[in-house]
Amino acid sequence: MMALWPLLHFTFLGFSITWPLVHGQGFQETAAVWPSLFNVSLPQKAQESIQIPNNGSAPLLVDVQVFVSNVFNVDILRYTMSSMLLLKLSWLDTRLAWNTSAHPRHAVTLPWDSLWTPRLTILEALWVDWRDQSPQVRVDQDGHVKLNLALTTETNCNFELLHFPRDHSNCSLSFYALSNTAMELEFQTHAVNEIVSVKREYVVYDLKAQVPPQQLVPCFQVKMSLKNTALKSIIALLVPAEALLLADVCGGLLPLRAIERIGYKVTLLLGYLVFHSSLVQALPSSSSCNPLLIYYFTILLLLLFLSTMETVLLAGLLARSSLGAKSSPSPAPRGEQQEHGNPGPHPEESPRGVKGSQRSWPETADRIFFLVYVVGVLCSQFIFAGIWMWAACKSGPAPGEAAPHGRRPRP
């Protein structure tokens, strides 16, 4: 209790000095005043209260409860995500305990800068927005200290996108207390998933909190497992690609002599080129374990290109053979005259016979190519489905994993 009342006195004194500055120039001028309150001229008890509590030979144990209330803005192109968390920290500081018989209050509330609290830094964070810039600390009569911190942060995440859009990824948030050592401070963590909304592309299906071993700096990690619901990507990517491939297969049913077939094939190829260019921008890229869909859509592009080139080449050869047949003498006109003079009782049989006898080798090659192409398309679909189910890829270790921040370097 001797340490608490000088602390309360100088805390109120500090508020009376800095209050006008909070509404004036803000944090920069306020920071210039606060250090003067904690210099050597203050009583020793008040100075000791802003130092980490001494727990003897064992480190101070700080219990941390992490409540995750929202995960949003999952950006696989930038490998980032945003999350909202609430940290409930509690520890024991016997220097702040008091006798309730002399002072009947069971708890007091103090500003967090007036006593020791863990200063936390998120290693993966691009930015952190602490919702309460001046949180209050609750001190119980037995010296138990409780601090609640609400924050919103955007962090990096190494998404595993091999099976995009049915991907599963593990994202970590590493909290470090850089102002202390592992001999002084130790964390005990628990994680609670409080996300109630599932109307989003990525959902959190697992949440864990742990303390990594062999750390020079006290830290704890929050690991979130994300799952892609995939509905948007399937509708926007897979359905158009499969529709174009099916349309290309159906285009092979058009006769090779039909002028519309070349225009049909070229239109499909140009449409897929436009679709593929936008697709490349929509899919993420990585130094390792790129999405399988990138290779799948590239194979579809090659199939459409091969089908179009086959139509153009065989149609050109057919046109050349037709021109050569017209320039050479042919008994076809006599046959036509005989048919015109003496029509048979079944006129529909004659075109069939003429068609079968006049089928050129480009048309025969086109029929064979069509059958081979259909078999190849079906086999490619089954092969890709097998690769999708059995393929596995693990990203290579990052350069910094040999000696992460706060960990002992490997020999």
Number of domains the chain contains: 2
CB 398 within 8 A of CB 405: no
Judge if 162 and 251 occupy the same domain: no
Residue 393 or 219, more confident: 219
Judge if 183 and 82 occupy the same domain: yes
> Which parts of 201-342 fold into alpha helices (H)?
231-233, 239-251, 259-282, 292-327, 332-341
Judge if 246 and 206 occupy the same domain: no
pLDDT for the residue 407: 54
Judge if 181 and 267 occupy the same domain: no
> Does residue 106 lie in a domain region?
yes
- Burial class from Cβ neighbours inside 10 Å (0-12, 13-18, 19+) for residue 294 reads middle
Q: Could you list the beta-strand ranges (E) of 112-253.
A: 120-122, 125-130, 136-140, 144-156, 168-177, 185-193, 202-210, 219-228
pLDDT for the residue 45: 54
Q: Which residues contact 320 (CB under 8 A, 6 or more apart)?
A: none
pLDDT for the residue 247: 94
> Does residue 353 lie in a domain region?
no
Statement: residue 278 has pLDDT above 50? yes
In this prediction, residue 371 has a pLDDT band, given cuts at 50, 70 and 90, of: very high
Model confidence pLDDT, tens digit, residues 22-59: 333 333 333 332 333 334 344 555 556 688 998 888 99
Judge if 223 and 248 occupy the same domain: no
In this prediction, residue 352 has a pLDDT band, given cuts at 50, 70 and 90, of: very low
> Does residue 344 lie in a domain region?
no
Statement: residue 17 has pLDDT above 50? no
Judge if 144 and 290 occupy the same domain: no
> Does residue 326 lie in a domain region?
no
> Does residue 3 lie in a domain region?
no
pLDDT for the residue 355: 44
Mean pLDDT, all residues of the chain: 80
Statement: residue 141 has pLDDT above 70? yes
Judge if 168 and 285 occupy the same domain: no
Q: Domain containing 248: what range?
A: 233-321+365-390
> Does residue 347 lie in a domain region?
no
Judge if 176 and 239 occupy the same domain: no
Model confidence pLDDT, tens digit, residues 82-117: 999 999 999 999 988 988 888 888 899 999 888 999
Model confidence pLDDT, tens digit, residues 162-211: 988 888 999 999 999 999 999 999 999 999 999 987 778 899 999 999 99
> Does residue 332 lie in a domain region?
no
Judge if 204 and 253 occupy the same domain: no
Judge if 61 and 116 occupy the same domain: yes
pTM confidence score: 0.73
Amino acid at 385: A
Model confidence pLDDT, tens digit, residues 213-251: 888 899 999 999 999 987 777 888 888 889 999 999 999
> Does residue 188 lie in a domain region?
yes
Give the pair of three-digit tokens for residue 2: 């001797």
